[in-house]
Structure 1
Amino acid sequence: MTDRPILFSGPMIQALLDGRKTQTRRVLRIPKGFTVENLAESNPGFYSGLPGDASSWGDNFSDDGGPMSLWELGSLSFAAGDRLWVRETWSHTGDGVFEIHQARIAPTGRVIYAATPAPDAPHAKYWPSIHMPREFSRLTLTVSDVRVERLQDISEADAIAEGATCRLECSGCMGRYPGWSMDWSAVGKPSRFARNGGVLSERDISHGTPVAAFAGFINELHDPRWNLKGDGIFGRNPWVVALTFTVAKANIDALPKSEAA
């Protein structure tokens, strides 16, 4: 059992809080000059406990669109029982808190999170998730299953476990069919992509299946201009490590290791 941080974007933080997200997929980079085969030979046990072909890796992305190199992950072996403390975009309301080290010792105020509105702190300066200290994390994931597969192997059930949700009668001709999205928060916001030329509707951001919703979300998260460059990361279909987990709404150090789930 190992503790390690993991980053998530705002919409996926909300999905975790809502109980809609119990899976995440992480794509790993093969360093230049290596192949899948000799990388596995030179890193025995790199993914100990994985079923199937544990030597398969592809390109690189994380749920928050940030970089994740093999060398950063080289000492990690995702396995059932691992605990992942979630990093997210955050801030602190303490007086005179302008830097992260000040937040850690502030005698007043509290930690706030970009994914959860804080009306009493409208001008808060938020720090990126990569800079969140362990003690400010509010979510802990306990890994229950680890798989290696291609990104496009994701099933509809898996896409729903990733956070895709359905709204009825919001897509198709006259909005007669259900539509799927990983993040409905854009509805009602101005956008040049809105069909009516004003604000986005449910129909504007919905997809026909949960897998299509996942693909669109991952492509956009990894590169907002993906559609100008090709098929996006989903179209490239890299090898991924798919993690299934349970979620505890608590700091990792507030949970006994045996009760983190």
Structure 2
Amino acid sequence: MKERPIRFGGAMVRALLDGRKTQTRDIVKLPHHNPLGQWEPTIIGGKNGGRTAAGTTLPQQGGIWHTRTGDCLTCPHGQPGDRLWVREKHLNWWLRDEANPEGPRVFSHVAAYAADGYELEHGEKWIASNQMLRAASRITLEITAVRVERLQDISEADAQAEGVPRDTEPCDHIRQSCEDIGCMGQTHKSSFCDQWCDLNGIPSWNKNPWVWVREFKRVATS
């Protein structure tokens, strides 16, 4: 089992704490685009997992391979059974070592998390999520499944599992149907599309890249 950090903003942290977010997606970084073949999803490991030449057990996992070159990629962000510790914006409490009062302060505990709605007092400053210490993390996740799919193939149920709320904005295209112009209407998928475009840009959604889909469960909070 490996453990690695993962960053989430306030809305997604709240979705994790509420149990509404159980999936996340990242773009697959393909090493080439050989035109004599194509990239396709694949499954690595058998029904009960596979084994390496050294005898190490491999859990079943999703990957992607190229039909011409045979190149096969597995998710670099973790495999089933691996754990993720969540980094989020926070405020630490630091203490000085009583044995060395003139020395540097040492981490004591987290005074507040931004996702909880805490309002900073005078002189306080949020610590960015990418600077969070492992000891300060309050959410630990365990990856339960990994697969590869096209970004736009996300289902309504999976969009909801991404932790986004359902879009409630009424459609404003009076003379055209949603199907005619590709509108997703008042759905979780519409909200997920908006969130993806905010983070990665509209061109990223339109390119419809392959993405790693990691499913997980929360196993520890403090």
TM-score by length of 2: 0.67
Shift of residue 172, structure 1, vs aligned partner: 2.7
Query: In the TM superposition, what whole-angstrom CA distance separates every residue of 1:99-123 from its partner, at most 9, and x where no partner exists?
Result: xxx67x145x634222112247465
Please state whether the residue corresponding to 2:212 is helix, strand or coil.
Answer: strand
Map of 1:194 onto structure 2: none
AA aligned opposite 2:16: L
* Map of 2:127 onto structure 1: 127
Q: Does 1:20 align with 2:31?
A: no
Between the aligned partners of 1:38 and 1:171, the Cα distance in structure 2 is 38
Question: Would you say how many aligned residue pairs link Structure 1 and Structure 2?
Answer: 181
The percentage of aligned residue pairs carrying the same residue is 36
Contact 1:20 1:161 in 2 (8 A): yes
Q: Which runs of 5+ in 1 are unaligned?
A: 57-73, 97-101, 174-206, 252-261
1:50 aligns with 2:28: no
Q: Displacement of 1:171 after TM fit?
A: 3.7
One-letter identity of the residue aligned with 2:193: A
| 1:166 CA displacement | 3.6
Distance 1:156 1:122, change over 3 A: farther
Q: Aligned runs of 1:128-143 on 2, under 5 Å? A: 128-143=128-143
Higher strand proportion: 2
Q: 1:82 to 1:30 in 2, by over 3 A?
A: same
Partner Cα separation in structure 2 for residue 17 and residue 24 of structure 1: 15
- The answer for the alignment partner of 1:218 in structure 2 is 196
Which structure has more helix as a fraction of its residues? Answer: 1
Distance 1:219 1:17, change over 3 A: same
Q: Following TM superposition, by how much is the alpha carbon of 1:77 offset from its aligned partner in structure 2, in angstroms?
A: 6.1
Partners of 1:128 and 1:22 in 2: how far apart? 23
Q: Is the 8 A contact 2:75 2:212 kept in 1?
A: no
Equivalent of 1:236 in 204, 207, 210: 207
**CA contact 1:25–1:242 (8 Å) conserved in 2:** yes
Deviation at 1:246, TM superposition (A): 0.5
Say what the alpha-carbon RMSD is for the aligned residues. 3.7
CA drift at 1:15: 0.8
1:159 aligns with 2:130: no
Deviation at 1:35, TM superposition (A): 3.8
CA distance in 2, matches of 1:249, 1:48: 22
Q: Tell me if structure 2 keeps the 8 A contact 1:111–1:136.
A: no
Give the direction of change, closer, same or farther, for the CA distance of 1:141–1:77 in structure 2 (3 Å limit): same
Task: Describe the shift of the 1:3–1:130 C-alpha distance in structure 2 as closer, same or farther (beyond 3 A).
Answer: same
SS of structure 1 residue aligned to 2:194:
helix
Segments of 5+ residues of structure 2 without an aligned counterpart are: 45-51, 53-57, 67-73, 97-103, 172-184
Structure of higher CA gyration radius: 2
- Relative to structure 1, the CA distance from residue 125 to residue 159 in structure 2 (aligned partners, 3 Å threshold; closer, same or farther) is same
The one-letter code matched in structure 2 to 1:216 is D
DSSP 3-state at the match of 1:240: strand
